[in-house]
Amino acid sequence: MAIKTLIEAVREGMHEEIRRDDSVFILGQDIGRRGGVFLATDGFIDDFGKHRIIDTPLAESSIAGIALGSAMNGLRPIAEIQFADFIWPTFNQLIGEASRARYGTNGDINVPLLIRTPYGGGVRGGLYHSQSVESFFSHSPGLTVVAPSTPYDAKGLIKSAVRSDDPVVFLEHKRTYRLVRGEVPEDEYTVPLGKAEVKMEGQHISLITYGLMVHLCAEAARNLANDGISVEVVDLRTLFPIDQETILESVKKTGKVIIVHEDTKTGGLGGEISAVISSEAFEYLDGPVTRLCGPDVPAMPFSPPLEQEFMLSTEKIIDAVQKLVSY
């Protein structure tokens, strides 16, 4: 196995899929000669040509619209939205049309459309380059929403997303792009959509999380082990539909749970997971279902101290775990 960064794994997964399937093409702003703002498609235009690696104007609604029409007519587009903070103009195409096409046509029309976009804070991106958008799409049946945390998962999930006959929103946390490294097999593999994974086994408390927060939770778990607290870390990987079975199995084992996400608390994914746990595993609980999330403020501050206050940290996770364990 080779050691790769998360962005390298995303690039490799897309490269393999576009080479494997002639119906796959990529479109987005600056994804051709420039290779994308994070170089996710670096070198692709030389390998596949400008008819399959298509630079578009700065017009997110048009990018999504072209991808939608192409997917409805037999192609498998990968559309890059340069930053999730500017994904709002795609809502009509993704939520109003793509998510409902199969249902609305009784299965006659599929939309094998993949939208990739970087999200999240902690990178000094300020108000317009730090937002988390997952809760908006996770409220739309018909869409699959994915947020990988490791290079292995990123490659395997993006290959599954390209092959899916339904639309997928693929969220890549910017801070993980080059910070997170891991083993990626050279042989062919995929990671199934809709399946969570227990990253660390534990007995005393479950941390349910995704994306960058997986790594903070894992670090917290390692530190807490020194105090005799055994923490289980569950990586959702797919945010919608969520893997209720894996979540409930973990909670029933430990009896205590914290849902951890960077997105703001109110209306976030943690509320839905809390409801599932409360209704399906209430009798197993030995403490309140707890959420540790970003604060309910309009956007990530640019000021470094305020950004640090907004972002979760290993220390904040440790404090929350110690409080709940002692409940």
By 3-state DSSP, what share of the chain in percent is helix, strand and coil, each rounded to 5? Answer: 40, 20, 40
Residue 187 DSSP code: S
Cα–Cα distance for residue pair 258/289, rounded to 1 Å:
6
Annotation says 204 is catalytic: no
Assess contact for 40 and 82: CB atoms under 8 A: no
- The burial of 109, by beta-carbon neighbours within 10 Å (0-12 exposed, 13-18 middle, 19 or more buried), is given as middle
The count of other CB atoms within 10 Å of the CB of residue 66 is 17
Assess contact for 314 and 219: CB atoms under 8 A: yes
Going by C-alpha positions, the residue among 109, 146, 103 that lies closest to residue 241 is 146
Assess contact for 18 and 48: CB atoms under 8 A: yes
Query: 129, 173, 215, 261: which one is catalytic?
Result: 129
Q: Which residues are catalytic?
A: 129
